[in-house]
Amino acid sequence: MSHTGEREPLTLDQRHALTTAATRLAGEFDGTFGEATIERFLHTSYDQFAGRAVVANFLPLLAERFARQRLTALARVEGHGHDGRPTVLFLCVHNAGRSQMALGFFQHHAGDDAIAWSGGSEPGDRVNPVAVAAMAERGIDIAAEFPKPWTDEIVRAADVVVTMGCGDACPVFPGKRYEDWTLDDPAGQDLAAVRPIRDDIERRVLTLLDELRRA
């Protein structure tokens, strides 16, 4: 893997972890993607998070999780293994508050009926701890989530794209259903201020899910 910019060289442990991740992904996507594609997605996913000290210890794990999501999306776009379940993509600026709460509610209420992803136009360093606390009050744990960008294949694989405050930075592809949810940004707010944002998001998610199920 080439090293660019200010990124530190990979440690031996990180190299081992990425090799192990590549092996796992190769097994999961056997017959769909070759080794070169899997390694490229894994390494470009790694580069998305490299340089953020707050996640340094988890870089190979984050890279593997994000590469898996991107490869799943690409498989859908290319017509491999689409199981018919609708996919919703929630996008905001930092992928740290609104879109993460929406993802949590959607996964909680949809179960196995639909798929949801989230992303940001300028991903933050971590999920907003106040958003994590607000969701925990509802019994939904989003603490293990992480801010990540959107990529072309993820947007193209989505059936519905829900944007929240990212304006012109949000991607537009023809033929997709788009919804723009006007919501206050929880960044810098206390728990009392975030609760009504959280509850508004849940109402919107339930409405969207009801529409998808009827469709």
- Give the whole-angstrom CA distance, residue 93 versus residue 79: 30
**Active-site position among 67, 101, 115, 166:** 166
Three-state DSSP at 162 gives strand
**Active-site position among 162, 170, 194, 201:** 170
DSSP 8-state code for residue 30? T
The reply to whether 92 belongs to the active site is: yes
The reply to whether 166 belongs to the active site is: yes
Which residues lie below 8 Å from residue 43, measured CB to CB, with a gap of 6+?
1, 18, 63
**Strands of 115-120's sheet, edge to edge?**
115-120, 87-92, 160-164, 177-180
The reply to whether 197 belongs to the active site is: no
Signed CA dihedral, 145, 147, 151, 156: sign only: positive
- Give the whole-angstrom CA distance, residue 199 versus residue 35: 44
Contact present, 96 and 120 (Cβ < 8 Å): yes
Work out the angle at residue 59's Cα, subtended by the Cα atoms of residues 161 and 95, and round it to the nearest 5 degrees. 25
Give DSSP secondary structure letters for 51-96.
Answer: T-GGGGGGHHHHHHHHHHHHHHHHHHHTTSS--S--EEEEEESSSS
Positions annotated as catalytic residues are 92, 166, 170
